[in-house]
């Protein structure tokens, strides 16, 4: 049994991001370079969380007319 079923909680989206589902505006996935996406699976969950936080900050600063 996996942890999600045991706790009823799902993993954060940064653990296994769906890169192709990024929205145009204010989506952290748009700020992760392709080179980093290619090696995403090699990072620990803590490293993924840190990259997510950085990219989320960038996405939050986007200004659209």
Give a yes or no: residue 53 inside a domain.
yes
In-domain check, residue 56: yes
Q: What is the pTM of this model?
A: 0.79
- Judged on CB neighbours under 10 Å (0-12, 13-18, 19+), 55 is buried
More confident residue, 22 or 65: 22
- For the chain, how many structural domains are there in total? 1
* Higher pLDDT pick, 46 / 8: 46
27 occurs within a structural domain: yes
Residue 29 domain-assigned (yes or no): yes
Q: What is the pLDDT of residue 64?
A: 77
What pLDDT does residue 2 have? 47
pLDDT bin (cut points 50, 70, 90) of residue 61 is very high
- Is 11 inside any structural domain? no
More confident residue, 45 or 63: 45
**Residue 28: domain span:** 23-65
Q: Say if 55 falls within a structural domain.
A: yes
Average pLDDT, rounded, for the chain: 89
Residue 50 lies in a domain: yes
Task: Classify residue 54: in a domain, yes or no.
Answer: yes
């Amino acid at each position: 049994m996996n942890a999600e079923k045991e706790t009823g909680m799902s993993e954060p989206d940064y653990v296994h991001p769906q890169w192709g589902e990024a929205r145009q505006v204010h989506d952290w996935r748009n700020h992760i370079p392709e080179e980093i996406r290619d090696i995403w699976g090699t990072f620990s969950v803590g490293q993924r969380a840190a990259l997510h936080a950085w990219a989320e900050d960038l996405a939050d600063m986007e200004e659209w007319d």
